[in-house]
Amino acid sequence: MKEKVRTYQRIISISMIVLLVLLVGFQLIPLTFNETSILSQVGQQKTRSQRIAKDVYVLAYRPEDEHAQAVSELQNTLPAWEQTQLQLQNLRIGGNISIYITQSQPDFTAEDTAARKLLASANAYPNQKVDITQVDIIAEHERGYFLSISQFITAFDQHIQSRMQLLVYIESGIAGTILVLTIVQFVLIVRQKYHPEQN
């Protein structure tokens, strides 16, 4: 019987060590997530889209002395906007969250193409009036893009919250199991010490 109790104690001790390692592993998981950086990038996409629209309106409707800054902003904003959109398209996210990025693509393509045409025209012919058709395209698609990206942010934030909640439940379960095993271990030690005849 004594040997049986020792075997139980060894099993409990090994189980507790394994559970502690698991608990530490689960606590490190949030450090490996890049989900907050994804949210940051998507938020920047909304800002970039609005900045592009603002710069295009400056080119279309503001005095020429403001055009150089708008052209410079477009030159800086468009490549980052295009690169981040490409990265977002390649994200592998569970559920239907990525559908919002897919929905944003037609608006992105239309706005991006129009902005590129306006930028090329502004660089080639700085004193010429911009093509109002391209300005209208941007005005038409900027809001749709903004809404799709906003929906993505909301859905992705909920996804992050549900994953974190699941992680808390798992960690709580492991901690609870460790507590129960500690109590059982303690009871076995007390029984062995004070009631050796029962072992």
For the chain, the structural domain boundaries read 35-166
Helices (H) and strands (E) in the chain, counts: 5, 0
* Cα Rg, the chain, nearest whole Å: 30
Q: What pLDDT, on the 0 to 100 scale, is given for residue 95?
A: 67
CA distance 132 to 144: 19
Judge whether residue 199 has pLDDT over 60: no
User: pTM for the whole thing?
Assistant: 0.72
Helices 99-124 + 132-194 axis angle, to 10:
140
Asked if the model's pLDDT at residue 198 lies above 60, the reply is no
Neighbour-count burial of 147, counting CB atoms closer than 10 A to its CB (0-12 exposed, 13-18 middle, 19+ buried): middle
pLDDT tens track for 120-153: 998 888 788 889 999 999 999 999 999 999 999 8
**Highest CATH level, class, for 35-166:** mainly alpha
Model confidence pLDDT, tens digit, residues 94-105:
667 888 888 999
Residues 62-118 pLDDT 10s: 888 889 999 999 999 999 999 999 988 888 776 678 888 889 999 999 999 999 999
